[in-house]
Amino acid sequence: MSEFLSLEDLTLAYGGSVAVDRLNLAIRQGELIALLGPSGCGKTTTMRAIAGLLAPRSGTIRLDGKDITRVAPSRREVGLVFQSYALFPHLSVFENVAFGLRLRKEPDLAARVAEGLATVGLSDFADRAPAALSGGQQQRVALARSLVMNPKVLLLDEPLSNLDARLRLEMRMELQRVQRETGVTMVFVTHDQAEALALADRIVVMRGGAIEQVGTPEQIWTEPASGFVADFVGFETILPDPETGGALAWRPAAVTLGSGPHSGVIRGASFAGAHREYVLDTPLGVVKAETPASAPPLAPGAEVAFDLPRERAVRLASA
Ligand SMILES: Nc1ncnc2c1ncn2[C@@H]1O[C@H](COP(=O)(O)OP(=O)(O)OP(=O)(O)O)[C@@H](O)[C@H]1O
């Protein structure tokens, strides 16, 4: 694999407490990588180290063949877009995007700002104040501001989390389009598995300061490498497999409800639009199942037969 950005044995700590422990990751040029994991797993800490805002305790960061571990943030050619867009409220959209270019006294300022605004579809908004823009538009200004600096890597920390559901979908497509058109290598942080699956070329699932699995969205979705990843992508019933000593995991839709060799009691039921979700207490443990919304509803307290078909489970080395 041709590595463009590589993190080698990276250990990151705040004072005495280690937040990321000997992390290894190689990213190709032009890739769109998602760092996915629950709160506190070390995603933001990893991004801060790549940006140069946190000096590693040990390990190496290489970008485009160069060791940048001790290079100052402003010389790294790494762009950073925060979750709060941090635009300057008193500057116009144009001046916000021009800010970094002016600091560096770069040539062709007006043309480059115009190109940046065109890339994010905001050519007509150059004279507006940030306050006169929607959240999604502000986010796109922040993106343009980073892009005009021609970074080798663009880091995005929860870029969509402040947007409402509809805008988030729009910005997902926008980010993908910008990435395709500019070819810039992007690493973004999210705790939303749907976002990671929809956007990323590869997903890095993190847990407790370490990498749990790296794979394409398809691999993570269909072949989770551990119980932790399986649970994260919706395999909500994970039971020991006496045949192999490992474990088996099922998504709710893979559980047959109404017939089968097992029996359980419905503890909870909820309507989710296209389907109904059930939580069952069973001698095997808690089982989560769903049925199409068109199927007759089952009441809490009812006893129901069910099956856990082996052929619809994923196999895990351990639960
Ligand atoms: N400034 C800090 N000082 C001390 N500890 C910190 C600091 N920032 C983060 N941590 C700790 O480092 C660990 C990793 O935090 P980090 O912010 O990287 O997690 P995260 O995966 O980005 O979480 P979130 O999704 O909540 O942003 C956590 O245990 C956190 O408490």
Ligand 1 center–CA 158 separation, angstroms:
14
**Residue type, position 16, single letter:** G
Q: Are residues 169 and 242 in the same domain?
A: no
Could you list the residue range(s) of the whole structural domain that residue 241 is in?
237-316
Residue 85 clears pLDDT 70, i.e. is over it: no
CB of 168 closer than 6 angstroms to any ligand 1 atom: no
Q: Are residues 160 and 281 in the same domain?
A: no
- What would the mean pLDDT of 76-89 be, rounded to a whole number? 85
Testing ligand 1's pocket by substitution, the residue of 21, 35, 43, 48 carrying the most ligand atoms inside 8 A of its CB is 43
pLDDT score, position 275: 95
CB of 35 closer than 6 angstroms to any ligand 1 atom: no
Q: Are residues 59 and 23 in the same domain?
A: yes
pLDDT score, position 139: 86
> Within a domain: residue 18?
yes
Q: Are residues 246 and 102 in the same domain?
A: no
Q: Are residues 58 and 106 in the same domain?
A: yes
> Within a domain: residue 232?
no
Testing ligand 1's pocket by substitution, the residue of 45, 50, 161 carrying the most ligand atoms inside 8 A of its CB is 45
- What is the domain-level CATH number for residue 306? 2.40.50.140
* Per-residue pLDDT tens over the stretch 191-218: 889 899 999 999 999 999 999 999 999 9
Q: Are residues 131 and 180 in the same domain?
A: yes
Number of separate domains in the chain: 2
> Within a domain: residue 34?
yes
> Within a domain: residue 246?
yes
- What is the domain-level CATH number for residue 13? 3.40.50.300
* Boundary-marking domain end, from 227, 252, 268: 227
Q: Are residues 49 and 186 in the same domain?
A: yes
Q: Are residues 216 and 242 in the same domain?
A: no
> Within a domain: residue 116?
yes
Q: Are residues 57 and 165 in the same domain?
A: yes
pLDDT score, position 29: 96
pLDDT score, position 178: 87
pLDDT band of residue 171 (cuts 50, 70, 90) is confident
> Within a domain: residue 149?
yes
Entry pTM = 0.89
CB of 39 closer than 6 angstroms to any ligand 1 atom: yes
CB of 37 closer than 6 angstroms to any ligand 1 atom: yes
Minimal-distance CA residue to ligand 1 atom 28: 40
Ligand 1 center–CA 70 separation, angstroms:
22
Residue 184 clears pLDDT 90, i.e. is over it: yes
Q: Are residues 167 and 244 in the same domain?
A: no
* Boundary-marking domain end, from 227, 256, 289: 227
Q: Are residues 10 and 60 in the same domain?
A: yes
Ligand 1 center–CA 169 separation, angstroms:
27
> What ipTM was predicted for this assembly?
0.94
* Per-residue pLDDT tens over the stretch 240-253: 998 888 999 999 99
Residue 319 clears pLDDT 70, i.e. is over it: no
pLDDT score, position 168: 81
Residue 110 clears pLDDT 80, i.e. is over it: yes
CB of 191 closer than 6 angstroms to any ligand 1 atom: yes
> Within a domain: residue 301?
yes
Please, what is the end-to-end C-alpha distance for the chain in angstroms?
Answer: 31
* Per-residue pLDDT tens over the stretch 23-38: 999 999 999 999 999 9
> Within a domain: residue 144?
yes
Residue 1 clears pLDDT 80, i.e. is over it: no
Minimum-distance ligand 1 atom for the alpha carbon of 41: 21
Q: Are residues 35 and 175 in the same domain?
A: yes
The closest alpha carbon to 61, from 5, 12, 14, belongs to 5
* Boundary-marking domain end, from 193, 227, 261: 227
Backbone angles phi, psi at 92, to 5 degrees: -70, 170
Report the alpha-carbon distance of residue 97 to residue 35 in Å, rounded.
27
CB of 45 closer than 6 angstroms to any ligand 1 atom: yes
